[in-house]
């Protein structure tokens, strides 16, 4: 039994399993290529990008950053509680992570609506093409993450995970943390720099 626990802690068995880390690596590479293209385009059209950036709501961006970091913390706590066999607390932590993570979607939708009302669409200019594509792709990831966490929360409530079997929850948490990390890269590049 102890050998199993030790082997699961090795690099070949990261939290959530190797498959999710392959998916995360591909997703991160995709976002990084988009960000690299953004930075090259920004360098070519610096004044346009700077002017367009001023049209973004930094307050919403900052609040959304705090929201995702908080939600990520709650997901990590949910995994820790489950690892200790405390399903009830794990359920509560993941429930709050979902609620707070959903707030990101609501705030982003309000921000999107504001852009649409101003007539700022995908084809507005190069900056906003990148803005809509990068943040829209991230929005979809957060939405998928909320669905995954909701499914996991239901399964935790049903008692389908225990201290010895919670790999699915680690997998979902790993996906959620990827969403956090991507936003922590997107936010400063799109809103601040």
pLDDT tens-place values along the chain, 193 residues long: 344 443 455 555 666 666 778 888 888 899 899 999 999 999 999 999 999 999 999 999 999 999 999 999 999 999 999 989 898 999 999 999 999 999 999 999 999 999 999 999 888 899 999 999 999 999 999 999 999 999 999 999 998 888 888 888 888 898 899 899 999 999 999 998 8
Predicted pLDDT at 5 = 43
Cα torsion at 62, 189, 144, 122 (round to 10°)? 110
Residue 51 sits at φ, ψ, to 5 deg, of -65, -40
This prediction has a pTM of 0.85
Query: 10 Å Cβ neighbour count for 123?
Result: 9
Domain regions of the chain by residue span: 19-192
Contact assessment for residue 100 and residue 67, using Cβ atoms and an 8 Å cutoff: yes
Predicted pLDDT at 131 = 94
CATH superfamily of 19-192: Cytochrome c oxidase, subunit III, four-helix bundle (1.20.120.80)
| Nearest to 145, CA basis, from 56, 67, 88 | 67
Predicted pLDDT at 3 = 40
Please tell me the distance from the alpha carbon of residue 142 to that of residue 152, in angstroms, as a whole number.
15
Predicted pLDDT at 1 = 39
């Amino acid at each position: 039994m102890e050998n199993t626990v030790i082997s699961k802690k090795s690099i070949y068995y990261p939290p959530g399993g190797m498959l999710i880390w392959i998916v995360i690596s591909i997703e991160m590479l995709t976002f990084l290529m988009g960000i690299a293209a953004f930075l090259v385009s920004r360098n070519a059209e610096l004044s346009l990008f700077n002017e367009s950036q001023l049209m973004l709501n930094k307050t919403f961006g900052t609040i959304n950053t705090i929201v995702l970091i908080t939600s990520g913390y709650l997901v990590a706590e949910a995994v820790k509680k489950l690892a200790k066999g405390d399903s009830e607390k794990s359920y509560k932590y993941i429930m709050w992570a979902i609620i707070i993570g959903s707030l990101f979607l609501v705030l982003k939708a309000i921000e999107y609506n504001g852009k649409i009302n101003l007539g700022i669409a995908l084809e507005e200019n190069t900056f906003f093409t990148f803005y809509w594509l990068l943040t829209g792709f991230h929005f979809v990831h957060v939405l998928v993450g909320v669905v995954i966490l909701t499914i996991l929360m239901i399964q935790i409530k049903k008692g389908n995970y225990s201290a010895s079997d919670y790999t699915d929850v680690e997998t979902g948490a790993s996906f959620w943390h990827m969403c956090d990390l991507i936003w922590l890269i997107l936010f400063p590049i799109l809103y601040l720099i």
